[in-house]
């Protein structure tokens, strides 16, 4: 069999795999490695250390310092894109003629470079980025950040047209695939890569509910505040909120309730244990973009799962969650499920849907067919 090689340009160092975007990148590389694809990984570095763990699943790993100069905010290109350009990266790409996978619109600065003409170029989209930034603007409290998200969203909408230069687009959700298909050719739905190969739910009952996410992201902070102020303030069921960098507003809101607590800046293993041991994973969102990897993890390893409509819209996961769209109905459902043992027949229902539609093995085969 002919050996397969692939360049992957990652917007960040994808290890540790502890937030949405890099989870998809890391487990994609792992799945490619399992299928014998030799990955040349190119990472933009801006705060996360070089990761020796990547060496075992990649043929070669390259690191480039992301240029975070504030002057680049004045560029006509999106800041998230122009800060991820590198002539050294181009030199490394031009050493061979292997296909190139660009991770997210963020990493597409060089997609239109004439020196890459004739190369197979695939873009993995994680969101409809300009819509994602518009939603970030809505929930942001800082005036400066609001202006940044607004201008960045407009730049991303203009820049998205570069996707015409891609040979294929691999969209993370069916809704994104549908939206992108109306503007570009050769769009494929390849859902999120994730850490779970089997559905494995702990027996017995848990003693708390859990919300988890990167709390410095505006949409997650908004969801956590919604749970504290509008849902769990009305009931005495214990809630743990776990994630990085909780806001002062969230810490203050939680301090009013003895049955609500925050576990800040804990590692991935600790969060995974909380997901498994919780009686209910409560995961509302107010941003229906992409697919939420934390929902997939909760369904593969957690007991009951309560969400609102935007969390599961057009994902194929609707039948596996209790969907509650008002604070009152969510409070009532939490009180009900908190007393209810998880039915292991529900595990079989999850297996039927998750293993057929969210399998890393079938996912990676779709990706390999494109390269």
Give the model confidence (pLDDT) of 65-83 as tens digits.
999 999 999 999 999 999 9
| Angle at CA of residue 247, ends 244 and 248, nearest 5° | 135
pLDDT at 234: 95
Please say whether the beta carbons of 194 and 296 come within 8 A. Answer: yes
Taking Cα atoms as reference points, which of 185, 60, 199 lies closest to residue 123?
A: 185
Residue 1 pLDDT class (50, 70, 90 cuts): very low
Cα torsion through 194, 196, 197, 199, rounded to 10? -130
E-assigned strands of 172-244?
187-189, 209-212, 239-243
Please say whether the beta carbons of 147 and 305 come within 8 A. Answer: no
Q: What is the pLDDT of residues 266-291, one digit of tens each?
A: 998 999 999 999 999 999 998 877 67
| Superfamily of the domain at 209-341 | Glycogen Phosphorylase B; (3.40.50.2000)
Which sign does the torsion angle of CA 47, 52, 53, 58 carry?
Answer: positive
Q: Do domains 4-194+359-370 and 209-341 have the same CATH topology?
A: yes
Residue 18 pLDDT class (50, 70, 90 cuts): confident
Residue 89's SS3 state is helix
Using CA atoms, how far apart are residues 151 and 144, in angstroms rounded to an integer?
A: 11
Question: Would you say residue 152 has pLDDT above 70?
Answer: yes
Question: Would you say residue 20 has pLDDT above 90?
Answer: no
Which tokens belong to 228?
Answer: 């504290």
pLDDT at 290: 66
Query: 168: number of CA atoms within 13 Å, CB side?
Result: 17
Taking Cα atoms as reference points, which of 213, 304, 282, 279 lies closest to residue 250?
A: 213
Q: What is the DSSP letter of 318?
A: G
List the CATH code of the domain at 4-194+359-370. Answer: 3.40.50.2000
Using CA atoms, how far apart are residues 200 and 145, in angstroms rounded to an integer?
A: 40
**Residue where the block lists tokens 């909408």:** 157
pTM check: above 0.85: yes
**Residue boundaries of the structural domains of the chain:** 4-194+359-370, 209-341
Please say whether the beta carbons of 264 and 319 come within 8 A. Answer: no
Helix (H) or strand (E) holding 8: strand 4-10
Question: Would you say residue 48 has pLDDT above 80?
Answer: yes
Distance of CA 98 to the CA centre of its chain: 27
Q: What is the pLDDT of residues 220-246, one digit of tens each?
A: 999 999 999 999 999 999 999 999 999
């Amino acid at each position: 069999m002919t050996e397969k090689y692939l360049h992957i340009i990652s917007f960040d160092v994808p290890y540790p795999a502890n937030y949405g975007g890099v989870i998809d990148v890391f487990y994609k590389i792992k799945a490619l490695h399992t299928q014998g694809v030799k990955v040349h990984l190119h990472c933009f570095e801006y705060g996360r250390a070089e990761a020796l763990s990547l060496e075992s699943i990649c043929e070669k790993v390259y690191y480039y310092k992301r240029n975070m100069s504030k002057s680049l905010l004045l560029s006509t290109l999106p800041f998230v894109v122009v800060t991820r350009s590198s002539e050294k990266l181009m030199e490394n790409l031009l050493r061979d003629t292997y296909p190139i996978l660009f991770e997210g619109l963020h990493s597409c600065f060089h997609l239109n470079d004439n020196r890459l003409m004739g190369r197979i170029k695939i873009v993995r989209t994680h969101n409809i980025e300009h819509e994602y930034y518009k939603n970030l603007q809505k929930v942001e409290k800082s005036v400066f950040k609001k202006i940044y998200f607004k201008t960045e969203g407009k730049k991303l909408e203009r820049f998205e047209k570069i996707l015409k230069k891609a040979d294929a687009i691999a969209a993370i959700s069916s809704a994104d695939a549908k939206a992108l298909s109306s503007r570009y050719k050769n769009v494929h739905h390849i859902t999120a890569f994730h850490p779970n190969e089997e559905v494995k739910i702990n027996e017995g009952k848990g003693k708390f509910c859990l919300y988890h996410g990167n709390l410095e992201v505006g949409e997650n902070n908004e969801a956590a505040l919604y749970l504290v102020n509008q849902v769990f303030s009305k009931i005495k069921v214990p809630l743990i909120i776990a994630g990085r960098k909780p806001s002062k507003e969230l810490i203050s809101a939680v301090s009013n309730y003895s049955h609500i607590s925050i576990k800040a800046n804990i590692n991935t293993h600790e969060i995974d244990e909380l997901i498994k041991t919780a009686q209910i994973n409560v995961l509302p969102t107010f941003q229906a973009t992409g697919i939420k990897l934390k929902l997939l993890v909760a369904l593969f390893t957690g007991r009951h799962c309560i969400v609102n409509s935007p969390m599961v819209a057009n994902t194929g996961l609707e039948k596996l969650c209790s969907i509650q769209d008002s604070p009152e109905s969510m409070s009532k459902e939490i009180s009900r499920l908190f007393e209810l043992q998880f039915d292991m027949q529900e595990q079989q229902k999850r297996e039927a849907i998750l293993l057929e539609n969210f399998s890393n093995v079938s996912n990676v085969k779709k990706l390999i067919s494109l390269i």
